[in-house]
Amino acid sequence: MIFEAESAREVEAAFQGAVDDYLAFCEERGREPDRPYSGRFNLRLEPTLHRAAHLAAAEADDNLNGFITYAVQNELERRGMTPE
């Protein structure tokens, strides 16, 4: 989205108007507004799966976070989905 204005105050008002429009749009359709994600989440695995993933990551000279990220990316690609 691009906001053009003569002053910072006008840009801020235009941005706030866009946010208000988006929230009204979501409400009309009965949808929850999108929210930003932190990129962090807790993952619970069976202990044997956790160990196997750790060993596979180490074998690939990677850490567990990198290994899981790679696995999720591959699964999304397999399903024809791309992160936005």
Q: How far apart are CA 57 and CA 21, in angstroms?
A: 45
Q: What is the pLDDT of residues 10-33, one digit of tens each?
A: 888 888 998 999 899 999 999 999
**DSSP symbol at 39:** S
Exposed (0-12), middle (13-18) or buried (19+): which is 20, by Cβ within 10 Å? exposed
| Residues in the chain, overall count | 84
pLDDT digit string, tens, across residues 29-49: 999 998 888 889 899 999 999
This prediction's pTM: 0.60
| Cα atoms in the Cβ-side hemisphere of radius 13 Å centred on 1 | 10
